[in-house]
Structure 1
């Protein structure tokens, strides 16, 4: 009799585990359908971007990192970062954060002068912290919802809201819109910026390759979580809210 009861308990526990697993799977499928309704198309674009990176961008970035001394690469990174501080300041103002905007403008002025056109990041050493703001975040602060998750060709993870924000960022991008450079020079500077950014991500990319079972899902969830964290300046409310 005891043996029969013992086996009955085991059967009940097994059924409960299976039911809980089924519920969890259903909830996960519903969540994915809600945040990523374009998943088949997104995965196709993701594969295209991965192939482009594997066969072109990553090898070029590795060559760039191998050839360029660390000091030169750091100067290139600082130069583009310094230009970006102007647009970071504008977004901080639009988000109602004048203190941060003032710091961003201060960074630009200090690095453009003492830092020799931004090649050296003097501002951080004197306590003017670097911020990261874009128009997608600004719209998020204004209350614009994410919309569906989207993977953009060449640019990668995004959302409907951040895609609009990216269009605004590109429209106001100094390198792409300056009259001081011709089309060939703009292309060269843009290529340098892409190589520099990719070279800075080589180590992180390898960690991702080693850690992620489903790289697409991992990047999607990481991107959405990071953007939510950025919009709320590191203190997001519970998702239920």
Structure 2
């Protein structure tokens, strides 16, 4: 059976290939976003989908689920995510980060009731989020053009190509039962979207162009992710500069 995750993976790769083949000549004022016309169309599709289904589902999730339960769910999913973050810290030769994340996983799993409680943060074990896109960036792979993916939202060509491995590295996908995997995926979407309910509304209300606001914010965040929050002052996304080693 083809799972929801596999469908999304195939779709994102297809979008990347179509972009490379058909959109390279689109003119744009921003060198980071040569496929802006296509990206805006996908952005609008995602907006419609969000307003019609994802946002109402997230609002219902908040309404019917007690806050302490939502916190526990977020902690549990975060603990699963720490496994892949640990692996990518190791791939980036960040020994201390990998060791601390390993300790976080063990503390939260065994002392935090399987990850429902975030005991590790109270013990000042810093939570880090690392993915394979960041690992590729660490080893010098440039981000490439900005891409908006159907359903999944903002990305870059590098992060899109890394996405299938990120999905396979997700510990929640290691469960053998399809229903369990899909339930965890849906729960993660609701957990993430419910945490952004007020933020997204503020962005839409305050921004003259929400598309540009989201794009610029995403690219800045990914740059900070690659440099662990300390990008060089002379960093230029489009100057061909390599990512750090």
Task: Give the TM-score, by structure 1 length.
Answer: 0.84
For residues 149-184 of structure 1, the C-alpha deviation after alignment (integer angstroms, 9 at most, x for no partner) is 1000111000000101212101222223422x2x22
Superposition map of 1:152-231 within 5 A: 152-179=149-176, 181=177, 183-231=178-226
Number of residue pairs aligned between Structure 1 and Structure 2: 210
Instruction: Give the aligned partner of residue 117 of structure 1.
Output: 114
> Helix, strand or coil for the counterpart of 1:116?
coil
| CA 55–162 in structure 1, closer or farther in 2 if over 3 Å, else same | same
2:82 maps to which of 80, 85, 90: 85
> Helix, strand or coil for the counterpart of 2:228?
coil
Based on CA coordinates, which of the two structures has the bigger radius of gyration?
A: 1
Greater share of helix residues, 1 or 2?
1
Instruction: Give the aligned partner of residue 137 of structure 2.
Output: 140
Aligned counterparts of 1:194 and 1:131: Cα–Cα separation in 2: 20
For residues 211-232 of structure 1, the C-alpha deviation after alignment (integer angstroms, 9 at most, x for no partner) is 2110001111111111001100
Instruction: Give the aligned partner of residue 235 of structure 2.
Output: 239
1:55 maps to which of 52, 61, 69: 52
Instruction: Give the aligned partner of residue 10 of structure 2.
Output: none
Residue 31 of structure 1 deviates from its aligned partner by 5.2
Structure 1's unaligned 5+ residue stretches are 1-28
For residues 18-58 of structure 1, the C-alpha deviation after alignment (integer angstroms, 9 at most, x for no partner) is xxxxxxxxxxx8651x2111111111111111111011000
> Helix, strand or coil for the counterpart of 1:233?
coil
Instruction: Give the aligned partner of residue 17 of structure 1.
Output: none
Instruction: Give the aligned partner of residue 7 of structure 1.
Output: none
Instruction: Give the aligned partner of residue 94 of structure 2.
Output: 97
Instruction: Give the aligned partner of residue 105 of structure 2.
Output: 108
> Helix, strand or coil for the counterpart of 1:235?
coil
Aligned counterparts of 2:82 and 2:174: Cα–Cα separation in 1: 16
Work out whether residues 108 and 117 of structure 2, in 8 Å CA contact, stay in contact via their aligned partners in 1: yes
Aligned counterparts of 2:122 and 2:184: Cα–Cα separation in 1: 27
For residues 90-109 of structure 1, the C-alpha deviation after alignment (integer angstroms, 9 at most, x for no partner) is 11111111001100000000
Aligned counterparts of 1:160 and 1:94: Cα–Cα separation in 2: 20
Work out whether residues 84 and 171 of structure 2, in 8 Å CA contact, stay in contact via their aligned partners in 1: no
Structure having greater relative contact order (Cα 8 Å, sep ≥ 6): 2
> Helix, strand or coil for the counterpart of 1:35?
coil
